[in-house]
Amino acid sequence: MASWQAAALARFIAFKIKRKPTSQDEMQIVRQARQKLGHMPGYVQPAIPADLHIRTVSLTTLDGDVIRGEWLAWKTDYPPATVLYLHGGGYVACSPRTHRPITVTLATLLRGRVFALDYRLAPEHRFPAALDDAVAAYRWLIEGQRMAPRQLVLAGDSAGGGLTLSTLVRLRELGLPQPAGAVLYSPWTDLAGTGETLETNTDRDVMFYGAGIRLAGRIYAGDTPPDHPLVSPLYADLHGLPPLLVFASSSEVLLDDARRLAARAEAAGVSVELHIEADLPHVWPIFCRLIPEGRRTLAATAAFIRRAVNHASSSNSQLPGSSIHDYRLAASTAVTAH
């Protein structure tokens, strides 16, 4: 049963955010999404510890990849783990700044680093732009920043959760080493929109209607079939992926995306933990300042990351991957942005 804080928050979200689609016009839908989801009010944003340094990063590699995002790193201590975080927002909205409640809290709990990627958004940049950016960011971390894959964990929520899974699949296809693990909050893994809970939970979900999810999927996919395995990683071959930690709410429209993903991953021999929480808002960890369930989920995430990194670091085996080579930068800027 959800806490009274979560129940109150759910009523507030339903009043402020949930709207049935009133138009098929892409740009109108995107403008509405960016207006509703493009910023987080101050009472949701976390307090930033004095010794946590946040930099806005923008760089271009010699391969021509442009990588933008936020680095969260401590001014002292060597971090035991680094998280590459991919924010949600239906592939059309949000940013690293909107998701600081998650990234700052994870950095604090882990005493580790987080790189929150500012990937390109649709409809200005449709599939595969976001995926290309995520793969480029991962390569930059392991090749340009010389980070060991066994000390890296990918994480993401909603669209970013699906993008996290697509990134793992693409890394395997490219022969790149896998990270130690991945965490998915309310992942959107089926942009073809075939999950039963898009219909059965459409009135219970306090944030979205199933019809709106399908519209957003078409905006991101563009001319690519929505069941393409890198658009909708639910349909991908999942063998060889690292351990997964998956969270979903019993009342959200994307519940079936998480349940079916967990079943397919397990069938492919992937270690997967699925946690279904009762009657919580979509991506509830972002409300960790307001509800105890958000704090508990992020604490469980930090524990999983520690276990995954420790296991990967102590293991002598490694998934097949390419050798790490020089990934030099053509240009780089970094601006402090607290």
Number of other CB atoms surrounding residue 218 within 10 Å: 18
The candidate with the shortest Cα–Cα distance to 259, out of 181, 160, 183, 187, is: 187
- Cα separation, 301 vs 18, whole angstroms: 28
Residue range 182-201, pLDDT digits in tens? 999 999 999 999 999 999 99
User: In the chain, how many domains are there?
Assistant: 1
Per-residue pLDDT tens digits for 4-24: 999 999 999 998 888 777 777
Q: Is 333 exposed, middle or buried (0-12, 13-18, 19+ CB in 10 A)?
A: exposed
pLDDT band with cut points at 50, 70 and 90 for residue 321: very low
At 78 the pLDDT is: 66
- Choose, from 95, 158, 166, 249, the residue flagged as catalytic: 158
Taking only the tens place, the pLDDT of each residue in 65-112 is: 899 999 999 988 767 899 999 999 999 999 999 999 999 999 999 999
Domain holding 51, by residue range, is 4-336
Distances from the Cα of 66 to the Cα of 134, 143, 284, 304, angstroms: 11, 15, 31, 31
Is residue 117 very low, low, confident or very high in pLDDT (cuts 50, 70, 90)?
very high
Specify the higher pLDDT residue, 246 or 46.
246
Contacts of 58 (CB under 8 A, 6+ apart): 66, 67, 68, 332, 333, 334
Sequence-distant (≥ 6) Cβ neighbours of residue 289 within 8 angstroms: 43, 44, 45, 46, 101
Average pLDDT over residues 215-243: 97
User: 326 pLDDT band (50/70/90 cuts)?
Assistant: very low
Q: What is the mean pLDDT of residues 236-249?
A: 99
pLDDT > 70: percent of the chain: 93
Q: Report the pLDDT value the prediction gives residue 79, as an integer from 0 to 100.
A: 74
| Mean pLDDT across the chain | 91
- Asked if residues 182 and 155 have their Cβ atoms less than 8 Å apart, the reply is yes
What pLDDT does residue 323 have? Answer: 36
Q: Provide the pLDDT confidence category of residue 333 given band limits of 50, 70 and 90.
A: very low
* CATH classification at residue 47: 3.40.50.1820
Q: Locate tokens 């969260």: which residue?
A: 72
Is the separation of the CB atoms in 278 and 250 below 8 Å? yes
Averaged over 130-151, what is the pLDDT?
A: 96
Is there a catalytic annotation at residue 315?
no
Q: What is the pLDDT of residues 256-300, one digit of tens each?
A: 999 999 999 999 999 999 999 999 999 999 999 999 999 999 999
336 band by pLDDT with thresholds 50, 70 and 90? very low
